[in-house]
Structure 1
Amino acid sequence: MGKASRKKQKKRVREASSDLSATVTSGHDSRTLGEEALGRLMRSNTPGKLSLAGAYAWGYAALGHAQQEGTDPLWHQETDPLDVLFLGTVWPKNFRDEFEFANARDAWLRLLRDTVHGKGIQRFVREAVSASEDLGLPVDDARLMLALAGRLEAAGLDQRRLPRRLLPESSLQDCRAVHGPSLDLRLPDPPEDAKERVQRFWEGSEEESWFDETPRTVLRDGLHRLEGSELPVKEESGMLLPALYTALMTKPGELLEDMGRHAWEWAVSLDESSPLVPVLDILLVAPELEMSVTETLGRLFAVPAFTEPFPPDALLWTSSPGLALPRLAFELDIPEVTTQDRTLTPDLLDWVGMHTRMSLSAAARDSSADLDLEDTDSTQQDSDGQWAERREAVREAAQQRMRKKSGGAAVTRHRPSRPVERIWNADGSSVIHISTGTSRGQQLMEGLENQLEAFREKFGREPGPGDPLFFDPDADEPTPLTKEYFDGVLMHMAEHATEMGMDPAFLHAWREVGYVVTEETRSGFSASEVIAFNRALARHQEAGE
């Protein structure tokens, strides 16, 4: 770039910065300023010759064009600014679905991490979150996305072009996250005692999966579940990866018909440097190479990671839009990111990943009407008989949607009845059932009745569908308690835990991950959530907290 061009660009940056300042401080028309910035960026950038700001402008235009043409897929509604930027780098390419898009996005961001453009991505994330805070808009709000164009220009993110070798078309050509592992992959030979180890594998108990954090034990639990659904887990190696994924990542409401595709996308989403990748690659190629289940298991025992604890990166679902920007923001020590659905904090990453995955899959199937799903979590107070009927009705409806190969079965979990149980619907919503047939259940119901009475006394009416049951006692209108409030309560309890005969580490772990796993509640959690809680508990116990 010559001196004259650099002067023009610096002038454009100064003008955009001045306009942006006026927008934030004086309330001027941010829409007009955003449109002007988009126009400048699209004129100065062309496909293949893009800056980060220019890629964002082209991605924004691509979203608008798809919407006008009526060709926008459902997952476009879940995109955030970082997704929009990536869309601009690949335009006019279309993605098969949200999974292919998200895995390609994350692989590309990993490639940029150690380059000068990685710093630019960090600046991009900071600008997006800062704009959200300054304008009082969610980070994925359309008005925010338009105004952001000017901020990116003002931040200098149009000054450096991405080299062609770093654009997705070139850099992701042979990427595992997009294409999966090569069938020419050299597989490890089974150990000499593979036959005995495979035999012991099948003899292990399902209960071990709650205490053992290794792929070996979680895979065995998943195979038992699929076997309970009458699937040929000992005959077809293609059942192994879905079994591992099912036990590790899924909620009880997720449909079996989704497991194969979701398992594949989760497996290829991991960074190639992850120690779990050799395990996953064996599971991915085994069906294509027509390996038997016994041979596949034998080769897995040759990989150390198969019998070692899961790496942390394997415990999060990332293969959906709207997940990369919050994750990177938290890595930059930004405490929270506000979206149109909720305010995200680090402890919610696993939950929002699960919910996005399930809700998009349910929307794609258009199954909400058939399954009569709830829109939000609620507390079910039906009799135990009515509850059993509802549970079986949901399961029966789900079973009818299974793939033909599954024989009409859904994934089963054989858990004993508990005082508190959560039933998950296919769209990620859930209902909590409290059984009054146990003393613990009766205590919980009494507590809920007391809370309902407190609501009536405070606000002089019955709670409505959108009212929080646990509310801010100092607010004039029903207002949900904040995370800061709950954190404060847990910290106070932790300080006095010893006096109450409790382990304070238990409360610190609860505060860290955002949920608590007990004997009574564990059936509502995936293995990855149980592992995350147990690890947090161990860390705080080791620290003497």
Structure 2
Amino acid sequence: MYRLVDAGMSGRLTLASAYALGCSTVVLAHAEGDGPEWYGAVDPLDLVFLGAALPERFRDAADFGNARTAWFRKLRETPHWGGVECLVTEAVKLSKGHDLPIDAPTALVLLNARLEHTKPNQRTLAAELRPAALLSDGRFRSGPPEDLVLPVPSAEAVESAKLFRARPDARVGCRDSCVERLRDGLRLLEHVGYSAPNGAFKLLIALYAALVASNDEPVEQLPARALAWAHGLDEASSLIPVVDTIMIAAVRDLDIESTISRLFTFPSFLRSASREDQRWHSDSGTDFVILALEFGHSAVRSRDREVMSLGPITSISLKSLEREFEAERGRPMEPGDRVFSADDVRELNAEMEKMFELARIHPAWSNAYLRDNAPLPRLDGSFRAKKDRQDFLESVEKYIIAHPGEAPPDHDSELAKLRGISAMMTVRMAIKDDRFAPQLIGLLDGSAVEEFDEVEVVAEFLAGYAEHLVTVVNEKPDIEEKALEWARLHGGASLAERLRTCIGSDPEDGWLIEPAVLLAIAVADSSR
């Protein structure tokens, strides 16, 4: 750490020496009882930026967070981005190896030793790439120009704004569009009894509340956080004209309806906000986990949470559950809502128990999951955490000791059965949800299928039943008709044509047939 600090102070500023400078700054501030409160929540990326920006001081956590995020966005286009990825990877490996959160003080100090001889210490940050130069005219601080010319709304935009205000139930955009999320935000403010000023700025608060705010944010902090979020948006964001118009309209004391009519002139107002635009960056400790997942790490643990990346099928399955929730409750799911009620959980466990019996899962595995609440291994055989693995193995061992007459489980064999159950549940969801089905077909038709990927699990399952499926579709005209109809409905003419060409194939060659085609037959066969 000291060598890196010396290098940074003597002019050789690399990502690694910037990290060491940032780390020493926070350590010294802690020892002296000094420094801003947000120092207590820094992560490795924060320390890199803090060290690179020295001697700059930041007004508050929002100013720091927005500046940090803006700087790393600009580094993406430089050769230093590989060093950023390496630094993140080293931090995640250290976290797992020492069983520490990535932002634990001990982990932050230990990371210095790992960086000295790695990629983050190989390139010097040129003066023009340091924060002082790259961020000199950053929008995150200045906000929209005061002389911004606001759009003149068309007659149609004026009518849309009137409809938006007069008819809360009249949808004027798609369900996830910014205009409908704005409506959700206004309802939310009313629901919590927030008495925001009735001017244009209320729209920014409502949009922030609907797109970004967590369920536990103090209501009184919404105005400041909404402003920080709007200032921190990526300069390339299509949402910037929307938030800039709102902010300038608020400065000029325009009323809500007049402001909304101007928002209807922007195409982005009628589209969904990007995932990036719905993230909160305006604080310390907000960016590391996002980048770690982007770089392919499956799980990241910080002091206040553990985040896992979801496989592609899990992601679209959760969307299916959200749609089911909205259909049952008559409203979209909100933070804090439970996907499953207590009764749902009991029903799911009962169904899972039946599936375990049908798949002949070893009783030791069933007992671990259904009785001892121990997590089963993931589909690739790994566990989310060391403790999960320990809990599972202890439960299995306890069962074996209590049942000396039973053979112990072959874990590889049981894992294969578990993969089959997962694939069966996916096929069932394709039968039940008409929006899930085409997404699954798209995943199966994709080329980026990796070993132990969820998509590979389904493809593997379908290939295992290929001979049976080809036999069924060849011998039963009703199955052929159903499969073709389902293929046309969910996969279009292309999938139907591919299915038609495989009808009459030798069942022994079924494993050569594309997974999406086998899925169509499996759905038809399962829905008899």
TM range (shorter): 0.5 to 0.7
Percent identical across equivalent pairs? 30
1:278 to 231, 236, 241: 241
Residue 265 of structure 2 is aligned to residue 302 of structure 1: yes
Equivalent position amino acid for 1:119 in 2: G
Residue 495 of structure 2 is aligned to residue 495 of structure 1: no
Question: Per the alignment, do residues 433 and 293 of structure 1 end up closer, same or farther by CA in structure 2, a change over 3 Å counting?
Answer: closer
Equivalent position amino acid for 2:69 in 1: D
Superposition pairs of residues 251-290 of structure 1, within 5 angstroms: 251-290=214-253
1:250 to 213, 216, 229: 213
Question: Per the alignment, do residues 63 and 485 of structure 1 end up closer, same or farther by CA in structure 2, a change over 3 Å counting?
Answer: farther
1:77 and 1:505 map into 2 onto residues whose CA distance is: 46
Equivalent position amino acid for 1:494 in 2: T
Supply the RMSD in Å over aligned alpha carbons: 4.6
Equivalent position amino acid for 1:82 in 2: L
Question: Per the alignment, do residues 229 and 81 of structure 1 end up closer, same or farther by CA in structure 2, a change over 3 Å counting?
Answer: closer
Equivalent residue, structure 2, for 1:123:
86
Residue 121 of structure 2 is aligned to residue 158 of structure 1: yes
2:160 to 193, 197, 201: 197
Equivalent residue, structure 2, for 1:78:
41
2:166 and 2:419 map into 1 onto residues whose CA distance is: 43
2:77 and 2:392 map into 1 onto residues whose CA distance is: 48
1:147 to 97, 107, 110: 110
Superposition pairs of residues 20-419 of structure 1, within 5 angstroms: 38-46=1-9, 50-206=13-169, 208=171, 212-228=175-191, 235-347=198-310
Question: Per the alignment, do residues 255 and 143 of structure 1 end up closer, same or farther by CA in structure 2, a change over 3 Å counting?
Answer: closer
1:98 and 1:305 map into 2 onto residues whose CA distance is: 29
Question: Per the alignment, do residues 49 and 292 of structure 1 end up closer, same or farther by CA in structure 2, a change over 3 Å counting?
Answer: farther
Contact 1:283-1:296 within 8 A present in 2 as well: yes
SS in 1 for 2:116: helix
Equivalent position amino acid for 1:271 in 2: D
1:432 and 1:194 map into 2 onto residues whose CA distance is: 38
Question: Per the alignment, do residues 118 and 443 of structure 1 end up closer, same or farther by CA in structure 2, a change over 3 Å counting?
Answer: closer
- Residues 345-372 of structure 1: CA deviation (Å, up to 9, x unaligned): 2349xxxxxxxxxxxxxxxxxxxxxxxx
TM-score (norm 1): 0.60
Equivalent position amino acid for 2:427 in 1: E
Equivalent position amino acid for 1:66 in 2: A
Q: How many residues are matched?
A: 396
2:332 and 2:176 map into 1 onto residues whose CA distance is: 23
SS in 2 for 1:157: helix
Higher relative contact order (CA 8 A, sep 6+): 1
Equivalent position amino acid for 1:243 in 2: A
1:69 and 1:169 map into 2 onto residues whose CA distance is: 27
SS in 2 for 1:344: strand
- Residues 119-171 of structure 1: CA deviation (Å, up to 9, x unaligned): 32223223323433455543223333223222221015334332233222232
Question: Per the alignment, do residues 250 and 160 of structure 1 end up closer, same or farther by CA in structure 2, a change over 3 Å counting?
Answer: closer
1:421 and 1:191 map into 2 onto residues whose CA distance is: 31
Aligned-residue offset at 1:239: 0.5
Question: Per the alignment, do residues 206 and 476 of structure 1 end up closer, same or farther by CA in structure 2, a change over 3 Å counting?
Answer: farther
1:313 and 1:261 map into 2 onto residues whose CA distance is: 20
- Residues 444-479 of structure 1: CA deviation (Å, up to 9, x unaligned): 56778999xx99x969xx99xxx8799888432599
Equivalent position amino acid for 1:257 in 2: E
Equivalent position amino acid for 1:476 in 2: E
Question: Per the alignment, do residues 123 and 223 of structure 1 end up closer, same or farther by CA in structure 2, a change over 3 Å counting?
Answer: same
2:328 and 2:263 map into 1 onto residues whose CA distance is: 35
Question: Per the alignment, do residues 298 and 497 of structure 1 end up closer, same or farther by CA in structure 2, a change over 3 Å counting?
Answer: closer
Residue 394 of structure 2 is aligned to residue 476 of structure 1: yes
Question: Per the alignment, do residues 105 and 450 of structure 1 end up closer, same or farther by CA in structure 2, a change over 3 Å counting?
Answer: same
Equivalent position amino acid for 2:71 in 1: W
Contact 1:98-1:320 within 8 A present in 2 as well: yes
Aligned-residue offset at 1:279: 0.7
Greater shift, 170-179 or 245-254, is seen at: 245-254
Radius of gyration: which is bigger?
A: 2
**Ranges in structure 1 where 5+ consecutive residues have no aligned partner:** 1-37, 349-414, 425-429, 436-440, 513-539
Question: Per the alignment, do residues 143 and 503 of structure 1 end up closer, same or farther by CA in structure 2, a change over 3 Å counting?
Answer: same
SS in 1 for 2:273: coil
Question: Per the alignment, do residues 447 and 89 of structure 1 end up closer, same or farther by CA in structure 2, a change over 3 Å counting?
Answer: same
Greater shift, 167-176 or 185-194, is seen at: 185-194
- Residues 197-240 of structure 1: CA deviation (Å, up to 9, x unaligned): 21112134358599612111211232233345566779411101
**Ranges in structure 2 where 5+ consecutive residues have no aligned partner:** 312-325, 353-362, 377-387, 398-415, 443-452, 455-489, 496-515, 520-528
- Residues 70-110 of structure 1: CA deviation (Å, up to 9, x unaligned): 12444333222111111112234343333222211110001
1:141 and 1:478 map into 2 onto residues whose CA distance is: 33
1:207 and 1:485 map into 2 onto residues whose CA distance is: 49
SS in 2 for 1:121: helix
1:200 and 1:138 map into 2 onto residues whose CA distance is: 50
Aligned-residue offset at 1:334: 3.0
Equivalent residue, structure 2, for 1:532:
none
Equivalent position amino acid for 1:70 in 2: G
Aligned-residue offset at 1:40: 1.0
SS in 2 for 1:140: coil
- Residues 387-408 of structure 1: CA deviation (Å, up to 9, x unaligned): xxxxxxxxxxxxxxxxxxxxxx
SS in 2 for 1:174: coil
Question: Per the alignment, do residues 433 and 338 of structure 1 end up closer, same or farther by CA in structure 2, a change over 3 Å counting?
Answer: closer
SS in 2 for 1:287: helix
TM-score (norm 2): 0.62
Q: Which structure carries more helix by proportion?
A: 2
1:242 and 1:496 map into 2 onto residues whose CA distance is: 41
SS in 1 for 2:393: coil
- Residues 404-450 of structure 1: CA deviation (Å, up to 9, x unaligned): xxxxxxxxxxx9996999997xxxxx696998xxxxx6565677899
Equivalent position amino acid for 1:58 in 2: L
